[in-house]
Chains A and B, each alone.
Chain A
Amino acid sequence: MSGLAEIWRGTWVIAYRELLRFVNERSRLISSVLQPMIFLVVFGAGFGNVIGNLGPNINFVQFMYPGIIAMGVLTSSLFAGVSVVWDREFGFLKEVMVAPLARTGIVLGKALGAAVVALVQVVLMLVVAPIVGVSLDVGLVVRLIPIVVILSIALSGFGILLASFMRSQQGFQLLIQVLIFPLIFLAGVFFPVDQAPDWLQVLSKINPMTYGVDAIRQVFLGSPASGGLGVEIFGTVMSIGQEVLIVGVLGAVLISLAVWAFRRQE
């Protein structure tokens, strides 16, 4: 019912506030970059020598690095949900709900805010790319941005959807902790999905996060056809386009559900 202009205003107003919060809270910025970095350094140093090259000229750290980026996107995007629960707990959600803002816009704003935060984080993580031996160029970064944004919006939708059913901050944090590990470990961040045992492959291929990780990996390491490091479904190795399509469609569904859940609260 609300016009596009109304939705757009809601989106940018809410996103603006999410970014203000992010800038004001430096500790969040630091921890959101540090956590994935710890994985990269510890796992890279610990397993790097044991595992050796996974493909022609692709060592373990180079393989893992794009996955770590996706992991960073996951944690900062789920924060959109944390932010909803937080606002509810501290009363600010009331200020938002009585304002003449379209509900769709509020949800999109939370997601857009999280996506911008995720992008900032990704850029910060790109700084270490040369150190881990991953070469960067402008074309790569340009291709990376839309994938990060789409993945982030999809995951934000998931976070907001969950948040709509959660009452307390502690409960939600706990739920996120429980979900984050299977989402990351089954997404092929640390191992090539197609070389895993069958049961693990099935679990990984059900996990939508896998396609986000692989799309980002393809941006960094090129098409998987050369190395067998990709994700194969029904005999075809997934291309970036197909993977982005999967994440995008799922994202649209999750965001729509989040809007529905948000409206239901009125």
Chain B
Amino acid sequence: MSTSSPTRAVIEVDGLSKSFGKLEAVKDVHFEVQPGEVFGFLGPNGAGKTTTINMLCTLLTPTAGRASVNGFDVVRERADVRRSIGLVFQQPTLDEYLSADQNLRFHAYAYGLPGDVRERRMNELMEMVDLADRRKGPVRTYSGGMKRRLEIARGLLHHPKVLFLDEPTLGLDPQTRRHIWNYLYALRDREGLTIFMTTHYMDEAEGCDRIAVIDHGSIVGLGSPETLKHDVGGDLITVGTDDVSAAAAEIKDRYQLEASIRDSTVSFHVEGGERFLPEFVRSFRRPIESIGLRRPTLDDVFLHLTGREIRDSELDGQEQLLAGMSQWRQGRRM
């Protein structure tokens, strides 16, 4: 939706790296995000997603490389970058002892919003996130989902060019997650907002215009979810038949496709599965007991790019722990 536009990329990242002592959390990362794009960073915990976001938000100084947001350098023009972005962090950053309105007003003052704009925008956003009737209540009485919605409203208050969301729906129930995404898409369409998010939820990544798959601090794949899934090697067809090895041999013989056998089924990847299927059924010589076609998912993409399931990499031993710890330590210094 954005690549046709001749405007300059709103986020430009060139060779960005960050080390914490010996640990290279982010290694030589390159990418660009176009205005109005929903760009996702997909990877397991500790892959370097939050470190990247913190560098783009001026909270961490890169060890090497450069990056700009809305045309401003994240190291040399910090104040301009800060004015251009809204942020929703993984952990809540609200003052729980103040009311929702007081939190929003503080934010408006901090970003120098004129009074009339502030009140209009506050009303509008609190309507949007369904908190209009709870505005006077102290935030500590809010549920997790309400706090996250309030943070999103606050992040948008000063009309940022880019909204950064670090695991925006972590720990929220599916209904609230869907709710939040509906707001965000509506905003993107209405205000041309660019959204940069990190996630390790596949369904959330599906909703992005483009995703960068990040693993061990490096980008291992970049493109639209469609392209990435396409690169896996087409649709997955699974055939149930009486003699699986004979079937596999026939598939290899006739279509030059490598089929894998599992229990009483054979499965193989093929481009344009729905066009291929009728012809296959018509001409296959063995009796077909069952047949299924499945598009590759982002799980398949992650497996294809890294050789591991994203869930497995979540529990990736000591390295993970170290990355988490040094980020934590760094985070505490903010």
Chain A residues at the B interface, C-beta cutoff of 8 Å: 2, 6, 9-10, 12-13, 16-17, 20-21, 24-25, 88, 90-101, 167, 265-266
What are the 3 tightest A-B residue pairs by CB atom distance, in nearest-first order?
A99-B110, A91-B93, A100-B82
A-contacting residues, B96-118, CB 8 Å:
96-98, 102, 106-107, 109-112
The contact of A13 among B58, B83, B102, B106, by CB within 8 Å, is B106
The contact of A94 among B98, B102, B334, by CB within 8 Å, is B334
Interface 9-mer from B84-92, B182-190, B233-241: B84-92
Known: A17-B95, A92-B94. A97 touches B334 (CB 8 A): yes
Q: Least Cβ distance of A46 to chain B in Å?
A: 37
What are 19 A-B contacts defined by CB distance under 8 Å?
A2-B79, A9-B110, A12-B109, A13-B109, A16-B109, A20-B106, A24-B98, A88-B334, A90-B92, A91-B94, A95-B95, A98-B57, A98-B85, A98-B87, A99-B82, A99-B107, A100-B112, A266-B59, A266-B61
Q: Least Cβ distance of A175 to chain B in Å?
A: 17
- Residues on A with C-beta less than 8 A from B57 are 98
CA distance A191 to B333 in the complex (A): 42
CA distance A94 to B94 in the complex (A): 9
Q: Least Cβ distance of A183 to chain B in Å?
A: 27
Known: A9-B112, A17-B106, A100-B82. A25 touches B332 (CB 8 A): no
- Residues on B with C-beta less than 8 A from A93 are 93, 334
- Residues on B with C-beta less than 8 A from A16 are 106, 109
Interface string of B144-162 (1 = CB under 8 A from A): 0000000000100000000
Residue ID in chain A nearest B87 by CB atoms: A98
The contact of B95 among A88, A92, A100, by CB within 8 Å, is A92
Known: A91-B91, A100-B79. A21 touches B97 (CB 8 A): yes
- Residues on A with C-beta less than 8 A from B97 are 21, 24-25
Starting from the known contacts A25-B97, A92-B94, A100-B80, 12 additional A-B residue pairs (CB-CB under 8 Å) come to A12-B109, A16-B109, A17-B106, A24-B97, A90-B92, A94-B87, A94-B89, A94-B334, A97-B59, A98-B58, A98-B85, A266-B61
Q: Least Cβ distance of A179 to chain B in Å?
A: 22
Q: Least Cβ distance of B272 to chain A in Å?
A: 47
- Residues on B with C-beta less than 8 A from A167 are 332
A-contacting residues, B184-225, CB 8 Å:
none
Q: Interface size on B (CB < 8 Å)?
A: 31
Chain A CB within 10 A, most for which of B82, B83, B111, B334: B334
Known: A92-B93, A92-B94, A98-B87. A265 touches B333 (CB 8 A): yes
- Residues on B with C-beta less than 8 A from A21 are 95, 97-98
CA distance A94 to B90 in the complex (A): 11
Q: Least Cβ distance of B282 to chain A in Å?
A: 61
Chain A CB within 10 A, most for which of B83, B92, B138: B92
- Residues on B with C-beta less than 8 A from A101 are 110
- Residues on B with C-beta less than 8 A from A97 are 59, 334
CA distance A97 to B332 in the complex (A): 12
Known: A2-B79, A97-B59, A100-B79. A90 touches B110 (CB 8 A): no
Asked if B98 and A20 make an inter-chain contact with CB atoms under 8 angstroms apart, the answer reads yes
Residue ID in chain B nearest A264 by CB atoms: B333
- Residues on B with C-beta less than 8 A from A91 are 89, 91-94
A-contacting residues, B285-334, CB 8 Å:
332-334
Asked if B110 and A265 make an inter-chain contact with CB atoms under 8 angstroms apart, the answer reads no
- Residues on A with C-beta less than 8 A from B83 are 100
Asked if A100 and B59 make an inter-chain contact with CB atoms under 8 angstroms apart, the answer reads no
Q: Least Cβ distance of B147 to chain A in Å?
A: 11
The contact of B59 among A10, A17, A98, by CB within 8 Å, is A98
Asked if A99 and B111 make an inter-chain contact with CB atoms under 8 angstroms apart, the answer reads yes
CA distance A265 to B97 in the complex (A): 25
- Residues on A with C-beta less than 8 A from B109 are 9, 12-13, 16
CA distance A92 to B83 in the complex (A): 18
A-contacting residues, B39-59, CB 8 Å:
57-59
Asked if B110 and A94 make an inter-chain contact with CB atoms under 8 angstroms apart, the answer reads no
Asked if A95 and B61 make an inter-chain contact with CB atoms under 8 angstroms apart, the answer reads no
Asked if A94 and B332 make an inter-chain contact with CB atoms under 8 angstroms apart, the answer reads no
Q: Least Cβ distance of B151 to chain A in Å?
A: 9
CA distance A6 to B112 in the complex (A): 10
- Residues on B with C-beta less than 8 A from A12 are 109
Residue ID in chain A nearest B85 by CB atoms: A98
